[in-house]
Amino acid sequence: SAVISQKPSRDICQRGTSLTIQCQVDSQVTMMFWYRQQPGQSLTLIATANQGSEATYESGFVIDKFPISRPNLTFSTLTVSNMSPEDSSIYLCSVGDVSSYEQYFGPGTRLTVT
Amino acid sequence: QKEVEQNSGPLSVPEGAIASLNCTYSDRGSQSFFWYRQYSGKSPELIMSIYSNGDKEDGRFTAQLNKASQYVSLLIRDSQPSDSATYLCAARFSSGSARQLTFGSGTQLTVLP
């Protein structure tokens, strides 16, 4: 399976600021996703990152708050904008296999908003 | 509404025992099912995928799928303390985006030495 890295691994940010999280894959992948995992909770899909077009957002998530870029098949960014303490969470990118639909996760970014 | 349900636990088993984790899903047309293991502070790791009715074995792990009952389970034989983790069940639903997975809330497993 692909090797996935995320930067930063963790950050502490002030309310009202923005943070951009990077996801890098060591091979070209078609499917890439962004998830949020709040403390003690399961995974919630934020959006599907589409190469060359706008991301597809899930209900409850909007582009103004979580802008996503996918400039090529190995890289994506998720920005958490105008942060509040409720955005404190682990943010995970994943890549999907087009035939098996298996998904593999990056190591995650632990965000704390104060 | 697309749902995947799991008992949150915690589930405790003694070392060497069989741990049984269960999952039900709402969409009868779902085709693909996955079990992930997540250690505390780590990201989820795929351990099993199953697509057809019946059992699928991989080492100490066996996934079982019953589409008629909309039920997926994971058995861990000869449980070890290193198996202590949260286990997430996921399903690919037939409706909506066929690429997405929906995750259950996870079952926390503790294997007691």
pLDDT tier for residue B96 given thresholds of 50, 70 and 90 = low
Chain B residues whose beta carbon lies within 8 Å of the beta carbon of residue A56? 97
What is the predicted pLDDT for the residue at B95?
63
Chain B residues whose beta carbon lies within 8 Å of the beta carbon of residue A112? none
Alpha-carbon span B60 to B57, nearest angstrom: 7
Inter-CA distances, B55 with A55, B13, B22, B66, B67, Å: 37, 22, 14, 9, 12
CB A107 within 8 A of CB A95: no
- Could A101 and B45 be called an inter-chain contact, meaning their C-beta atoms sit closer than 8 Å? no
Instruction: Report the number of secondary-structure helices (H) and strands (E) in chain B.
Output: 0, 11
Nearest to A72 by CA among A96, A51, A98: A51
Alpha-carbon span B32 to B101, nearest angstrom: 9
What is the predicted pLDDT for the residue at A75?
96
CB B34 within 8 A of CB B100: no
Alpha-carbon span B56 to B82, nearest angstrom: 22
Sign of the C-alpha dihedral computed for residues B48, B24, A43 and A59 taken in this order? positive
**Residues in chain A where the model's pLDDT stays below 70:** none
Mean pLDDT taken over chain B: 92
pLDDT tier for residue B80 given thresholds of 50, 70 and 90 = very high
CA distance A47 to chain B (A): 10
What is the predicted pLDDT for the residue at A99?
85
For the stretch B5-23, pLDDT in tens is 998 789 999 999 999 999 9
Q: Does A104 touch chain B (CB under 8 A)?
A: yes
Q: Does B28 touch chain A (CB under 8 A)?
A: no
- Could B101 and A107 be called an inter-chain contact, meaning their C-beta atoms sit closer than 8 Å? no
Chain A residue whose CA is closest to B93: A101
Chain B residues whose beta carbon lies within 8 Å of the beta carbon of residue A45? 100-102
What is the predicted pLDDT for the residue at A39?
87
CA distance A107 to chain B (A): 5
